[in-house]
Amino acid sequence: MNTFAGRKYIVAGIIILVGLIFVIRLFSLQVLDSSYKFSADSNSRRTKILYPARGLIYDRNGEILVYNEAAYDLMVNPLQLRSFDTLDFCEILNITPADVINRIGQARDYSLYRPSIFMKQISSATYAVLQEKMYKFPGFFVQPRTLRNYPKNLAAHFLGYVGEVDEKTIEQDPYYQPGDYIGISGIEKSYEHVLRGKKGRKIVLVDVYNREMGSYQGGWYDEPLVVGKDIISTLDAGLQEYGEHLMQKFMGSIVAIEPSTGEILSMVTMPNYNPALLVGRARGDNYKILSEDTLKPLFNRALMAQYPPGSTFKVVNGLIALQEGVIKPSTEFDCYMGYFFENITVGCHMHESPLDFVRAIQNSCNSYFVNVYRRILTDPKFSNTEEAFNNWCDHIISFGFGQLLGTDMINELKGIIPNSGYYDGIYGKDHWNFLTIRSLAIGQGELGITPLQMANLAAIIANRGYFYVPHMVKEIRDEESINENFLERHYVSIDSTHFEQVVNGMDLAVNGGGGSTAWRARMQDIIVCGKTGTAENPHGEDHSIFIAFAPKDRPKIAISVYVENGGFGNIWGAPIASLMIEKYLNDTISRPYLDEYVLNGIRPE
């Protein structure tokens, strides 16, 4: 047997060779290849995203408008899934096993290794039951979230809503991950960066059953979350509530501004919706219903409806005329229930004739202002209509019409102001004059003004010549001041001296007695200044418009009311504005009959 003794070396050789191969392989695995180290770490490590509570929104007096409520997302990490009691699982969550398979499939498609949402916003009750049994379902865990909740059905457009972030935004801003929430309209959107805070991160160690076993590296890699900052908005909740109450049977808008600061006291759009509809799981379905509603409740008329301003526009033309010196306050024009020229007629209602400037405003005389407009466009200063028109446009623009005011609101629209190029296109260059575009004189024709712009106009007049850019937010907690843009005065191109006449005219329009178009707005103890408007509507009844401010001296509120199909401005526009003013200034309604009239259409006399 020993003749084969030499073979012991071969045997030993094989043994040593195997040992060597192992050592080399181990070297490669343990020392050279660091991917296993990371795999191991990620195997037993889970990164928890800590979602901060979104900032709250208050009204100007500290009343809560939006707050947060706890919600729970059920997450799944496909890599850590094991077989589990599907029946029990389905019972707790109230879904079918097929549903479970489907959702897991979706999660797998998204990523095998990273957790994704299995089920959004399970109720607290479900969460409580599930939490007890979590150990039975390895691979699943619950992510606490916050959802918005509203103490009152109020100011849906103003506040906006929060929904899931879309792909495009994720691409642009990697802070957001699929499933994150983001403000989509209103304050929620324009102040998203303030309200959202900053997501935090906590890395925990987990065992193979997905139970948390403690902090990774003592929390060294953790990042604390930053709570969202609260916002004090400019809104007056009581006023807003009242406004929505008054408008409940109408379609249209109310915008109220504090002239001395540009703060928006109220922004009512009707029809509106209950903000609670666009929260949580039901949001998708509700949004669909709302967006298909033919009355368009999601459409924020206050910012986006471009209405013809009607007679309210006369004050603007009046101011421009005074500024250009083509009329004086004492200038008078005749009116024989209309303006007649050749074969052109602009009708007017019955009133005294002739009227001077102030009385023309009081009576809202069409004829007067057509004449005024004629004078503006035939001003000898300018060589032709086009030049005069361009000059007129410049004035208009300084009032903030036809452009974005630069507010902090999303979806603000510019409005429509035609320019000479527009008319050149229709009629041909030099082929149009003031007669062609006479409807602009009385606020009809190719004009589109948003209720916000009209309220801003009221503010300009209230301030006698300047405005602050209207904005929604008064203060952001822990921040020095709001955006500087809102603290700047913007002067219009009209000298403030000219405003006094307009103010007087508007005073008379409300309080002047006979002939006053806005007598319904009159109040006992406060001098309200206002201007009615009635916009022609080829499709139905005319629209009822009203702008106003009060008190006449040191005004505290400037307001615009637009009621679609409301008839004369005085019928609905004026009383609504008046009630709003009273509510704001006195906090009580002393004329309940008026309130009832607005709501039920019973005229008091």
Partner 1 sequence: MKRRTNLIKSIDWITVLLFLLLVLIGWLNIFAAVYNEQQLQNFDLSQQYGKQLIWIVAAILLAIIVFMIDEKFFFFFSYPIYIVAIISLLLVLIIGKEIHGSKSWFVIGSFNLQPSEFAKVATSLALAKFISSYNFRIDKLRSILTLFLIAVLPAILIAIQPDLGSAIVFFSFILVVYRAGFSEILLLIAIIFIGLFFLTLVVDKLFILSGLTFIALLALWIAERKIRYVLGAMIILAIFTGTLFGLNRMLEIGANYYFIVVAGLLISFPIYLIYAIRKKIRNILVVIGCLFISMLFSFSVDYVYHDVLKQHQQQRLNILLGLESDPLGHGYNVNQSKIAIGSGGFSGKGFLNGTQTKFDFVPEQSTDFIFCTVGEEWGFIGTSVVIGLFVFLLVRLIIIAERQRSDFSRIYGYGVIAVLFTHFTINIGMTIGLLPVIGIPLPFFSYGGSSLWAFTILLFIMLRLDASRMELLK
Name the residues that contact partner 1, by CB under 8 A.
1, 3-5, 7-8, 10-12, 14-16, 18-19, 21-23, 25-27, 29-31, 33, 35-37, 39-41, 43-44, 79, 205-209, 213
Cα separation of 148 and 556, whole Å?
32
* DSSP-assigned beta bridge partners for residue 215: 204
Cα separation of 283 and 276, whole Å?
9
Distance of closest approach, residue 30 Cβ to partner 1, in angstroms: 4
Distance of closest approach, residue 99 Cβ to partner 1, in angstroms: 22
Distance of closest approach, residue 404 Cβ to partner 1, in angstroms: 55
Using a 10 angstrom Cβ sphere, with 0-12 exposed, 13-18 middle and 19 or more buried, the burial of residue 64 is middle
Using a 10 angstrom Cβ sphere, with 0-12 exposed, 13-18 middle and 19 or more buried, the burial of residue 319 is buried
The candidate with the shortest Cα–Cα distance to 236, out of 60, 383, 464, 409, is: 60
Query: CA gyration radius for the chain?
Result: 34
Distance of closest approach, residue 98 Cβ to partner 1, in angstroms: 22
Distance of closest approach, residue 156 Cβ to partner 1, in angstroms: 47
Which of 46, 196 has the CB closer to partner 1?
A: 46
Cis peptide before 354 (omega within 30 of 0): yes
For tokens 């109720």, the residue is 123
Which of 113, 491 has the CB closer to partner 1?
A: 113
Distance of closest approach, residue 200 Cβ to partner 1, in angstroms: 23
Which of 23, 226 has the CB closer to partner 1?
A: 23
Cis peptide before 271 (omega within 30 of 0): yes
Strands 338-341 and 344-347: antiparallel
Which of 213, 487 has the CB closer to partner 1?
A: 213
The candidate with the shortest Cα–Cα distance to 223, out of 263, 175, 287, 256, is: 175
Distance of closest approach, residue 179 Cβ to partner 1, in angstroms: 24
Q: Where are the beta strands (DSSP E) in 518-603?
A: 529-535, 543-550, 557-563
Cα separation of 476 and 473, whole Å?
7
Which of 85, 212 has the CB closer to partner 1?
A: 212
Distance of closest approach, residue 74 Cβ to partner 1, in angstroms: 21
Residues 197, 227 contacting (CB under 8 angstroms): yes
Those residues whose C-beta lies under 8 Å from the C-beta of residue 166, and which sit 6 or more positions away, are none
* DSSP-assigned beta bridge partners for residue 268: 254
Which of 11, 98 has the CB closer to partner 1?
A: 11
Give the distance from CA 204 to its chain's centroid. Answer: 40
Cα separation of 501 and 322, whole Å?
10
Distance of closest approach, residue 47 Cβ to partner 1, in angstroms: 15
Neighbours of 136 (CB within 10 A): 15
Which of 141, 369 has the CB closer to partner 1?
A: 141
Distance of closest approach, residue 267 Cβ to partner 1, in angstroms: 55
Which of 2, 383 has the CB closer to partner 1?
A: 2
The two structure tokens encoding residue 325: 């010196």
For tokens 């191109």, the residue is 493
The two structure tokens encoding residue 544: 């009822």
Residues 138, 84 contacting (CB under 8 angstroms): yes
Distance of closest approach, residue 180 Cβ to partner 1, in angstroms: 28
Distances (CA, A) of 14 to 4, 7, 248, 332, 454: 16, 11, 93, 121, 96
Which of 37, 288 has the CB closer to partner 1?
A: 37
74-97 b/e (C-beta count within 10 Å ≥ 16 → b): bbbbbebbeeeeeeebeebbeeee
Which of 12, 295 has the CB closer to partner 1?
A: 12
Which of 40, 404 has the CB closer to partner 1?
A: 40
Which of 214, 514 has the CB closer to partner 1?
A: 214
* DSSP-assigned beta bridge partners for residue 231: 57, 476
Distance of closest approach, residue 3 Cβ to partner 1, in angstroms: 7
Distance of closest approach, residue 205 Cβ to partner 1, in angstroms: 7
Helix (H, G, I), strand (E, B) or coil at 524: coil
Distances (CA, A) of 381 to 7, 317, 375, 376: 122, 17, 11, 10
Which of 25, 328 has the CB closer to partner 1?
A: 25
